[in-house]
Amino acid sequence: MRVVVLTGAGISAESGVPTFRDADGLWEGHRVTDVATPEAFVADPETVHRFYDARRAALDTVEPNPAHRALAELGEALGDDLLLVTQNIDDLHERGGSPDVLHMHGRLRSALCAACDARTPWEGPMLDAPPCAGCGEAALRPDVVWFGEVPLGMDRIVEALESAEVFCCIGTSGAVYPAAGFVQHAAAYGARTVELNLVPSEGTAYFADSRHGPASALVPAWVAETLAEVRA
């Protein structure tokens, strides 16, 4: 069975990682989505670095939850027939046991050189970072995809959506494209679609099956159901 799973901030919420659009959606008085733009970085790089530096530091205080671990179990069973795509820049899928995760909006523990496009594994703060080790320019930025930038791995994602038998979307509001459009794309190519979210997302009407509740309960149950079908 070929499966594409798309995860968003909701899968990490029970691990203690704040989502973007729940509660007040604020960080130091800024809307978090306003800090996550190239315009904000040009206008005020220090504030944007502090935002990502704080989130990178917080990774040390959180752990994967049963939803991350259940998807790792699914990956072990399906191998290359599972494409796990996440919009999240945390590393909880990897720490939950999924080695091959497509981070379409980038990763906190990586730096991108805006001058030469080199990527470097990154721990600790990026504010006052040394110049890029490759080209020597002082142009390191968080390796994340901001509004107006092109998400990563789109060719691989589109190919997988077009051959998927099942598309499952977990913990995302359906407010941000192109990820929000994956359900219609997969359905148009014949995939069965399922949403697992705390509440109905903005795209809930596009899913054949929508289940509402915490990811830590819904995801292990859905994985068990899917594995039973695979093994039948």
Residues annotated as catalytic (active site), given as ranges: 105
DSSP letters spanning 133-193: TTT--S-EEEEE--TTSPPTTHHHHHHHHHH-SEEEEES--S-STTGGGHHHHHHHTT-EE
Query: 57 vs 230, which CB is nearer to ligand BJW?
Result: 57
Q: Measure the CA–CA gap between 21 and 212, rounded to whole angstroms.
A: 17
Segment near ligand BJW (CB under 6 A); pick from 72-80, 132-140, 145-153, 160-168: 145-153
Dist. CA 95–CA 64, nearest whole Å = 6
Residue number, 21 or 192, with CB nearest to ligand BJW? 21
φ, ψ of residue 153 to 5 degrees: the values are: 70, 20
Footprint (CB under 6 A) of ligand BJW, residues 88-117: 89, 105
Q: Does residue 48 belong to the site contacting ligand BJW (CB under 6 A)?
A: no
- Residue from the set 57, 134, 138, 147 that interacts with ligand BJW by CB under 6 A: 147
Q: Which of 175, 185, 204, 227 binds ligand BJW (CB under 6 A)?
A: 175
Nearest to 172 by CA among 147, 153, 197: 197
Say whether 65 sits in a helix, a strand or coil: coil
Q: Which of 29, 79, 121, 148 binds ligand BJW (CB under 6 A)?
A: 148
CB 176 within 8 A of CB 151: no
Between 136 and 159, name the residue whose CB sits nearer to ligand BJW.
159
- From the CB of 232, what's the least distance to ligand BJW, in Å? 27
Q: What is the CA radius of gyration of the chain?
A: 18
100-101-106 Cα angle (round to 5): 135
Size of the site for ligand BJW (CB under 6 A): 36
Cα angle, residue 48 at apex, residues 157 and 101 outer, rounded to 5°: 25
Does position 153 interact with ligand BJW (CB under 6 A)? The reply is no
Contact with ligand BJW (CB under 6 A): which of 13, 71, 72, 140?
13
Q: Does 38 bind ligand BJW (CB under 6 A)?
A: no
The footprint of ligand BJW (CB under 6 A) covers 8-10, 13-14, 19-22, 33, 36, 87, 89, 105, 144-151, 154, 171-173, 175-178, 197-199, 201, 214-215
